[in-house]
């Protein structure tokens, strides 16, 4: 399949292959691949992004591709051009499209409209499949396996698309997942039921922030922009911070991940902790997205 729209579209062997190619890409990251000279990747970001946008651009360039970036604020979309028209135009310029858009299902729609492969870089609160691949790659690399690991997903599990995608990926690979969220910000019960049914996954939920027993603690920020009451958001964030003293209860080899940006849910002093793995995780964005781009162009 050339398009990458949702983690639901990927089976385990395909993910394993992508992770294996990611490893090869990482080993030779600073050599020139020049695999796809003359190919053009368009990166259409209708929402702000730092890591995803830059790592896709870097990945494309390391594969020898050129990049045409699209910046929403400076585009004709601000004049009222439909998404469909914008996509058709860009599809005529590029060999592959990477899209982030606030509407859920926008990447699937883009794949219908475009002749060239489309990669989802985040569609509203729905999916972020390449982030999940990065997360699985990071866990596998740090722990040597995913199956049987105790993974805690912590924070605003209601709004974070990265967490929705990741729960599916972890369940597919047989991790034991603990969902730790403040009341009202729990993971959508539909997806919990789905992974339990589909993968016979072990998933438990808790409101108590506790790292004991976890092999991996994956934290995401409270999405303050989704709250109508900023005070309520700040209060929830204050009760869900990974303070250094909390790490004292953690297993020695527990790794702490975060899709970034981290705001104040992980204070800066934790960055120096041996548990902190989120900057390595972010650096994996390039090799994993190189693997994704190569897969899309080879299949497409």
Partner 1 sequence: MPLLVERIEQGTVIDRIEAFAGIHVLEILKLVPSNQAARQSEASGNEKSSRSPASPAKPDLAHRVALVINVPSRHMGRKDILKIEGREIKPVEANKIALIAPRARLNVIRAGKVVQKVDVKLPSKLEDIAACPNPSCISRLEREASVFSAEKGRLRCAYCERLFSTYELVV
Q: Are 152 and 178 in contact (CB under 8 A)?
A: yes
Q: Are strands 66-71 and 118-123 parallel, antiparallel or unpaired?
A: unpaired
- Judged by DSSP in three states, 179 sits in strand
The residue annotated as part of the active site, out of 17, 39, 51, 262, is 51
Site string for partner 1, 183-222 (x = CB under 8 A): -------x---x----------------------------
CA distance linking residue 205 with residue 256, whole number of Å? 19
Interaction between residue 105 and partner 1 (CB under 8 A): yes
Paired tokens of 134: 């990065």
Q: Is 52 a catalytic residue?
A: yes
Interaction between residue 82 and partner 1 (CB under 8 A): yes
CA distance linking residue 124 with residue 47, whole number of Å? 9
Stretch that binds partner 1, among 82-90, 138-146, 171-179, 252-260 (CB under 8 A): 82-90
Alpha-helical regions (H) of 114-229:
129-143, 161-172, 189-199
Q: Name which position in 108, 143, 224, 251 contacts partner 1 (CB under 8 A).
A: 108
Footprint of partner 1 on residues 127-146 (CB under 8 A)?
127
Q: Are 197 and 169 in contact (CB under 8 A)?
A: no
Minimum CB separation of residue 277 from partner 1 in Å reads 29
CA distance linking residue 215 with residue 279, whole number of Å? 18
Site string for partner 1, 34-73 (x = CB under 8 A): ----------------------------------------
Minimum CB separation of residue 99 from partner 1 in Å reads 11
Interaction between residue 91 and partner 1 (CB under 8 A): no
The residue annotated as part of the active site, out of 53, 100, 116, 176, is 100
Largest CA distance in the chain: 55
Paired tokens of 152: 């805690």
Q: Is 226 a catalytic residue?
A: no
Closest alpha carbon to 61 in 22, 24, 30, 18? 30
Stretch that binds partner 1, among 44-52, 119-127, 213-221, 276-284 (CB under 8 A): 119-127
Give the nearer residue to partner 1 in terms of CB position, either 164 or 295. 164
Question: For the chain, how far is it from start to end, CA to CA, in angstroms?
Answer: 7
Interaction between residue 123 and partner 1 (CB under 8 A): yes
- Judged by DSSP in three states, 141 sits in helix
Interaction between residue 89 and partner 1 (CB under 8 A): no
Chain residues binding partner 1 by CB under 8 A are 6, 8, 80, 82-84, 101-106, 108-109, 123-127, 190, 194
């Amino acid at each position: 399949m050339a398009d990458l729209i949702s983690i639901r579209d990927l089976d385990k062997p395909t993910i394993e292959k992508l992770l294996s190619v990611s490893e090869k890409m990482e080993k030779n990251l600073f050599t020139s691949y020049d695999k796809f000279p003359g190919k053009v990747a368009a990166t259409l970001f209708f929402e702000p992004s730092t890591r995803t946008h830059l790592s896709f651009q870097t990945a494309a360039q390391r594969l020898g591709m050129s990049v045409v970036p699209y910046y929403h604020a400076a585009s004709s979309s601000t004049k009222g051009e439909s998404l469909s028209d914008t996509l058709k135009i860009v599809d005529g310029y590029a060999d592959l499209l990477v899209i982030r858009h606030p509407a859920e299902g926008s990447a699937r729609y883009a794949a219908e409209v475009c002749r060239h492969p489309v990669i989802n870089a985040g569609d509203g609160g729905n999916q972020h499949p390449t982030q999940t691949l990065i997360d699985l790659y990071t866990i596998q690399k740090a722990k040597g396996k995913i199956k049987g690991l105790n993974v805690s997903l912590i924070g605003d599990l209601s709004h974070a698309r990265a967490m929705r995608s990741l729960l599916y990926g972890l369940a597919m690979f047989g991790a034991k997942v603990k969902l730790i969220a403040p009341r009202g910000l729990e993971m959508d019960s539909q997806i919990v039921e789905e992974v339990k049914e589909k993968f016979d996954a072990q998933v438990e939920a808790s409101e108590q922030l506790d790292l004991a027993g976890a092999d991996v603690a994956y934290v995401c920020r409270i999405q303050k922009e989704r709250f109508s009451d900023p005070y309520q958001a700040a209060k929830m964030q204050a009760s869900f911070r990974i303070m250094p003293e909390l790490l004292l209860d953690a297993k020695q080899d527990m790794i702490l991940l975060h899709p970034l940006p981290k705001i104040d849910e992980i204070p800066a002093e934790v960055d120096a902790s041996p548990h902190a793995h989120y900057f390595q995780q972010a650096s994996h964005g390039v090799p994993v997205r190189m693997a994704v781009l190569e897969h899309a162009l080879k299949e497409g």
